[in-house]
Amino acid sequence: MPDPRARFPWWIPLGAVVVALGFARTLVAPFDFIDDGNLVYPAPAGTSAEGHAQLWWANVAANVDHLGPFRPTLWMHWHAQANLFGADPLVWRAYRLALCALAAGMLLWLMRELRVPAPAALFATAAAMWNPYRSEIWTSLTLSEGGAMPYALFGLIAARRAARSAHPLWWDVTGALAVLVALGCKNTFAALVPAQVLLRIWADDLSPRDALRRNAARAAALALTLTLPVAHFVYFKLNWHPGQYEPTAPSLAQTVVVLKGLKGGMGLDFLGAGVVAALIVVVRARGELREFRAALACGAVLAGAGAAVYLPMAGFSGRYAMPAAWGLDVLFAVLLAALLRAPRCLGRTSAFVLLFVGLTAVLIATVHKQEKAAARARMLWAVVHHLETSAPTGATVAWISGDPARGELGVEEGIHVQWHLANRGRGDIRITLLDLNEQPLPRVEVRAGAGAPMFRIAAAREAGVAWEPDRDFGAAYQFGRKRYDCHISRRPRAVVRDVVQVDGRGPPSESITSGEGRNRVQRIDQP
């Protein structure tokens, strides 16, 4: 039987494009208010090459000082994109969509190298990329997992190719460099290295003993990339201070949290019935899986190491499922390959039906998530435009924060409103973060405004005479069935006059009501 890898696999680029089109809805979405506020704006015009390098390193160092992560290559990507794309959301979104296609192509290529047939690889990749639990790395523009994914997967591909190549040096060098770039995006990608070493040793045409004798030295050299995260961890522990991430001892409770996260990361809420049905069919068929030994080993090692790296942390997020979820994706693809080979029967047909229904639900869920994110961003952009054109110089704004899952405004959203305003020329407007009881929420990211707030922004209107309605903004989603709302109030004129006279800060009240403040603001179109 001819080796299917001998011909160019056109199904890989075509499949990657089709998978990426699942996020086409993001192309018309504005910048969000989660991770983009301080990242999408270019450096000042005329900045020299040395100035760009200084800005880049200052952000890298500040990231270590404030939070702890050392992410030099990620910051390099962010700076390059900001200066190439400007604050243009369409260009940023188009780039992210292309990056999504590249990542999908890398996952398909890895599965092909592990001998997974095209139908199984395409299905598993679509399920992985569309999964709404971890698709935030594509609906948002700057999350590190999305930026690192093509490099990380190529590092595994290169190791597999090097193990089979008569001239492996090129694959070894490029694979090590790719993993270094991934580590420079996020330290937890150290979990890639055990799987990379395993694939570098594994050679289909050699016995385990011969493979170790031939490839062990080169595989051990690949493990030298771990010196970067190890050195960072030692520095981090010796210089830890409040405000940085605080690793904890692994615990049973965190293990349960990680396992639940991986369940979500694999989309078992949608695909679980199909996976169980497929397992039953494959176990009964007792199919031969010998040719998938490398895939099974790679998937198991990557899943185990990826889960272990988050055990010393508190909590979990959808994107934290990676890189462990990539190992589970490979195992899922092997299950699908075995299902394809199983004898035809009612159980096999039922498994396929359940899997395709589940995949359809995954796609619907992720498109719905994109729509929600875009609606939320449109509403918050209306707030930004209103403040930058209506607020007088030096205005203080009370931002009432709660739980966005309940429709309230988030504290991070308030921080990003401040950052967007500052980058658009209205840094004089200061956001004061308050909780639902209107008590201050101290955050290092923003400096609270001085004096009494002139505006109040909340998801619900304020009842009483302390504030008068100013503007209401809303955005509908789910075909108009649901909506986000935001209400802006301002101090009554008499109250503002009294506040200004008592505090002695800010412009005269006449400037607030006559429009002088608005005339002093130059309109900046939405990026």
3-state helix, strand and coil shares in percent for the chain, rounded to the nearest 5: 65, 5, 30
pLDDT in tens, 347-371: 999 999 999 999 999 999 999 999 9
pLDDT in tens, 177-235: 999 999 999 999 999 999 999 999 987 777 777 777 788 888 889 999 999 999 988 88
Query: What is the Cα–Cα distance from 434 to 409, expressed in whole angstroms?
Result: 11
If one compares 39 and 113, the residue with the highest pLDDT of the two is 113
CA distances to 199, 426, 440, 455 from 451, in Å: 62, 18, 13, 12
pLDDT in tens, 99-125: 999 999 999 999 999 999 999 999 999
pLDDT in tens, 417-471: 999 999 888 989 999 999 888 898 888 778 877 778 999 999 887 766 678 888 8
pLDDT in tens, 362-418: 999 999 999 999 999 999 999 999 999 989 999 999 999 988 888 889 999 999 999
Best CA proximity match to 398, nearest among 379, 375, 417: 417
DSSP 242: B
What is residue 463's predicted lDDT score, i.e. its pLDDT?
Answer: 62
DSSP 440: B
Q: Which domains does the chain have, with CATH numbers?
A: 4-367 (no CATH), 391-519 (3.40.190)
Query: What is the Cα–Cα distance from 456 to 468, expressed in whole angstroms?
Result: 10
What is residue 86's predicted lDDT score, i.e. its pLDDT?
Answer: 87
pTM above 0.75, yes or no: yes
Best CA proximity match to 11, nearest among 88, 108, 123: 108
If one compares 488 and 518, the residue with the highest pLDDT of the two is 488
- H-helix or E-strand spanning residue 99: helix 89-113
Across the range 57-65, mean pLDDT stands at 90
Mean pLDDT of the chain: 86
Across the range 310-320, mean pLDDT stands at 87
Please report, as a single letter, which amino acid is at residue 437: N
What is residue 266's predicted lDDT score, i.e. its pLDDT?
Answer: 93
What is residue 514's predicted lDDT score, i.e. its pLDDT?
Answer: 26
Best CA proximity match to 217, nearest among 174, 154, 162, 170: 162
The label of the residue with tokens 């390059």 reads 80
Which three-class secondary structure string do you get for 430-473? EEEEECCCCCECCCCCCCCCCCCCCEEEECCCCCCCCCEEEEEE
Here the tokens at position 92 are 């940023």
What is residue 313's predicted lDDT score, i.e. its pLDDT?
Answer: 85
CA 50 centroid distance within chain: 30
Query: What is the Cα–Cα distance from 326 to 36, expressed in whole angstroms?
Result: 26
What is residue 511's predicted lDDT score, i.e. its pLDDT?
Answer: 28
- Which residues, at least 6 apart from 199, have a Cβ–Cβ distance to it below 8 Å? 156, 159, 160, 163, 294, 298
pLDDT at residue 239 tops 50 = yes
CA 27 centroid distance within chain: 16
pLDDT at residue 156 tops 80 = yes
What is residue 464's predicted lDDT score, i.e. its pLDDT?
Answer: 61
CB 353 within 8 A of CB 455: no
Banded pLDDT at 518 (limits 50, 70, 90): very low
Beta partners for residue 398, in sequence order: 432, 456
CA distances to 18, 64, 457 from 413, in Å: 32, 23, 12
Here the tokens at position 516 are 């002088």
Query: What is the Cα–Cα distance from 400 to 384, expressed in whole angstroms?
Result: 15
Banded pLDDT at 499 (limits 50, 70, 90): very low
SS3 206: coil
